[in-house]
């Protein structure tokens, strides 16, 4: 109703003020990438992800760089392989302890000095190779790189802290992390091989060390997203909690390690050794794409993902019988697409089982089991190749994937 007021001799009708409009709700993000846009709209996530990716890329560079540098300078692939194997064994022993310290004292406080030790080990390796120091110095130097923190585990711990109570967003974040793993392990060896062969034999190791230190400094500078350190005694043992799952991760690692060796040997036997790099990159690209897609979908059960992976791992075995490159490349692409959903779902099980405040240690134990499986799978596949031929070695990843299905069923029954 209008209000009336008298001004001098004039009657003024004043209209009532218009009601204030309610603020418009922000338009929901739509499209296939909407879950990822919402994820990186959270404060601080873009910066720590940038540091995470910079520090994670060297994980695919160090091994290839060390092999090419040592073999090129010392003329022995046996020595190069032994040095990198020693470093992997040292990582299996040291990484869980580093992760435990990170959970207990905070990411920034432990990860930076641990990274500095690893970088100094890499630089020492370069000096020892260049100065023709005794062979044992190469082993000691590369073993020092075992203090490298598990950057993927620390990043996943941050997402878990930020996304408490949001299982859908957490699933998307874990899918992104798995895709990032695949991307870095796909690009890392290519970059390392280019630097070592075109620039300098030491260039790959130098670049990897610089990227690792820079990325870790950027990552740890984001204090607002760092998981809090809980005071008081630690409840529960991650090793005991994850004991039923670790054989499953070991079997999955056998799948990865044996598939890579079998593919390299099979392509070399066909006279297509130069195609091994692009073909293996195609497998990693399939896993990366599947990981990103899986983050936009509803998560599936672990047993379902493992069954799909077991079926996909039989495809390269069948394609190898054709003796042709195209069927094998397509089969490896499909096999790669089956691995990312499996790893995302399996890591979610790790999150659920790990005691509170010890997530990074739990994640590192799972990764250590995968690395041990990769070594076992590579060694076993090499033996099969020598005695039965490269095509037969493709039976090993299929058998390991089937074993993972059986192990998951056993865990399900025990629960």
271 Rama sector, left if φ>0, alpha if ψ -120 to 50, beta otherwise = left
Residue 12 has pLDDT above 60, yes or no: no
Residue 413's pLDDT is what? Answer: 63
Mean pLDDT across the stretch 210-232? 86
For residue 192, give both structure tokens: 């390392």
Residue 14: pLDDT band (50, 70, 90) is very low
6 Cβ contact partners less than 8 Å away, ≥ 6 residues apart: 12
Q: List all residues 6 or more positions away from 358 whose beta carbon is below 8 Å from its beta carbon.
A: 100, 103, 234, 236, 238
The b/e string for 390-408 (b: 16+ C-beta within 10 A; e otherwise) is: bbbbbbbbbbbbbbbbebb
What are the pLDDT digits (tens) for 251-283? 998 898 888 888 878 887 888 766 777 887 788
| Predicted pLDDT of residue 119 | 95
Nearest-5° Cα angle at 191, 190 to 195: 120
Count the neighbouring beta carbons within 10 Å of the beta carbon of residue 10: 7
| 90-142 tens-digit pLDDT | 888 898 899 889 988 888 899 999 999 999 999 999 999 888 889 899 999 99
Convert the pLDDT of each residue in 54-71 to its tens digit: 999 998 888 878 888 888
Joined tokens for residue 46: 């873009």
Q: Look at 231 and 405; give whichever has higher pLDDT.
A: 405
51 CB neighbour count, 10 Å cutoff: 20
Q: Angle, to 10 degrees, between the axis of helix 77-105 and the axis of helix 62-74?
A: 150
Q: Which residues pair with 14 in a beta bridge?
A: 3
CA dist., res. 336 & res. 228, Å (int): 36
Give the pLDDT band (50/70/90) at residue 415: low
Identify the pLDDT of residue 233. Answer: 55
The rounded distance, in Å, linking the Cα atoms of 356 and 363 is 12
pLDDT tens digits for range 273-324? 667 778 877 888 888 888 888 888 887 788 899 999 999 999 998 888 888 8
pLDDT over 70 (residue 29): no
Q: How far apart are CA 181 and CA 367, in angstroms?
A: 12
CA–CA gap between residue 128 and residue 139 (Å, rounded): 10
Pairwise CA distance, residues 389 & 396, whole Å: 12
Instruction: Find the Cα–Cα–Cα–Cα dihedral 379, 114, 112, 154, rounded to 10°.
Output: 50
Look at residue 403 and tell me whether its pLDDT is greater than 90: yes
Over residues 386-410, the mean pLDDT reads 88
Instruction: Assess whether pLDDT exceeds 70 at residue 375.
Output: yes
Which residue do the tokens 């601080």 mark? 44
């Amino acid at each position: 109703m209008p209000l009336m007021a008298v001004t001098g001799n004039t009657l003024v009708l004043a209209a009532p003020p218009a009601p204030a409009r309610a603020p418009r709700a922000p338009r929901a993000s739509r499209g296939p990438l909407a879950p990822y846009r919402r994820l990186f709209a959270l404060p601080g996530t873009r910066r720590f992800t940038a540091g995470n990716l910079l520090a994670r890329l060297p994980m695919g560079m160090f091994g290839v760089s060390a092999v090419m540098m040592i073999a090129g300078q010392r003329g022995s692939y046996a020595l190069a392989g032994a040095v990198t194997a020693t470093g992997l064994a040292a990582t299996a022993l040291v990484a869980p302890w580093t992760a435990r310290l990170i959970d207990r004292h905070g990411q920034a406080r432990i990860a930076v000095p641990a990274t500095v030790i690893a970088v100094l080990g890499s630089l020492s390796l370069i000096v020892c190779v260049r100065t023709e120091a005794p062979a044992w110095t190469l082993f000691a130097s590369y073993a020092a790189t075992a203090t490298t923190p598990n950057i993927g585990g620390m990043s996943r711990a941050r997402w878990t802290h930020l996304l408490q109570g949001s299982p859908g967003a957490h699933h998307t974040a874990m899918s992104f992390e798995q895709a990032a793993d695949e991307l870095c392990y796909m690009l890392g060896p290519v970059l390392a091989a280019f630097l070592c062969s075109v620039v300098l034999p030491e260039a790959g190791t130098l670049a990897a060390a610089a990227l690792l230190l820079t990325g870790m400094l950027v990552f740890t500078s984001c204090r607002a997203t760092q998981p809090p350190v809980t005071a008081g005694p630690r409840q529960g043992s991650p090793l005991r909690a994850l004991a039923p799952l670790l054989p499953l991760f070991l079997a999955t690692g056998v799948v990865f390690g044996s598939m890579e060796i079998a593919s390299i040997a099979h392509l070399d036997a066909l006279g297509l050794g130069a195609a091994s790099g692009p073909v293996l990159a195609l497998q990693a690209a399939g896993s990366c794409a599947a990981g990103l897609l899986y983050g936009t979908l509803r998560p599936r059960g672990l047993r379902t993902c493992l069954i799909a992976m077991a079926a996909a791992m039989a495809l390269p075995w069948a394609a190898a019988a054709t003796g042709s490159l195209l069927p094998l490349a397509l089969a490896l692409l499909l096999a790669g697409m089956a691995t990312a959903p499996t790893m995302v779902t399996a890591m979610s099980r790790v999150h659920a089982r790990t005691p509170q405040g010890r997530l990074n240690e739990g994640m590192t134990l799972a990764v250590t089991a995968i690395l041990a499986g990769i070594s076992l799978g590579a060694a076993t596949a090499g033996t099969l190749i020598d005695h039965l031929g490269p095509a037969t070695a493709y039976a090993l990843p299929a058998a390991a994937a089937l074993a993972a299905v059986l192990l998951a069923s056993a865990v399900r029954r025990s629960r």
